A = this chain, B = another copy of it.
Amino acid sequence: MAVRYYWEDLAPGSVRELGTVSPSGEDIKEFAEQFDPQPFHLDEHAGKRSMFGGLCASGWHTCALAMRLTVDNFLRESASMGSPGLESLRWLKPVYPGDVLKLQHTILESRPMRRRPDVGMVRSRWEMFNQHGDKVLEMEGYGMFGRRQPATPEEIAKYEAERGKSSS
């Protein structure tokens, strides 16, 4: 697939809707059997007796579903070079069978990389909402993307001078 989004195309402040997904009870149990076999992720009755009030998805399942939407509706058309990680991940509400989850992605910050002038770093926020408008998941983290044009030494020096000023 042709690359549509290079680092230069990911403007801070830009917001993308990355689609919706709706896990079934079977999906929730199947993930939990493999990766998170706690009773409230495996069984309706155990879910009802738990603090969640019903069968609900593993938090890692919710993250994996958000990743799938991100790949399908954004990364697949981008020059993505992977991610070093996240600086926060919050499971805010339980996800129940049949919930319709909508993912929104916001670019927070963008910067050149001194050691890899052909790659740029982006800091993003992912927010997933259910059909009631409740936020169920929020993550902030980093992604690396290939650039259309490599960073010049002047660009890197300018960025570092600005960052130095704002943090002092």
Least Cβ–Cβ distance between A27 and chain B, in angstroms = 9
Q: Check B67 against A60 for contact (C-beta < 8 Å).
A: yes
Least Cβ–Cβ distance between A75 and chain B, in angstroms = 7
Q: Check A84 against B91 for contact (C-beta < 8 Å).
A: yes
Known: A64-B35, A67-B60. Is A85-B83 also a contact (CB below 8 A)? no
**Candidates B36, B51, B75; contact of A64 at CB < 8 Å:** B36
Chain B residue at minimal CB-CB distance from A31: B64
* A86 interface residue per 8 A CB criterion: yes
| Chain A interface size range | 20 to 34
Cα distance A157–B155 in the bound complex, in angstroms: 52
Least Cβ–Cβ distance between A138 and chain B, in angstroms = 8
* A59 interface residue per 8 A CB criterion: yes
Q: Check A89 against B90 for contact (C-beta < 8 Å).
A: no
Residues facing B in A94-134 (CB within 8 A) are: none
* A65 interface residue per 8 A CB criterion: yes
Q: Check A58 against B63 for contact (C-beta < 8 Å).
A: no
B-chain residues with CB within 8 Å of residue A59 when the two chains form the complex: 83, 85
Cα distance A80–B52 in the bound complex, in angstroms: 13
Q: Mark A50-69, 1 if CB is under 8 A from B, else 0.
A: 01100000111001110110
5 interchain pairs, CB-CB under 8 A: A31-B64, A35-B68, A36-B67, A38-B71, A89-B141
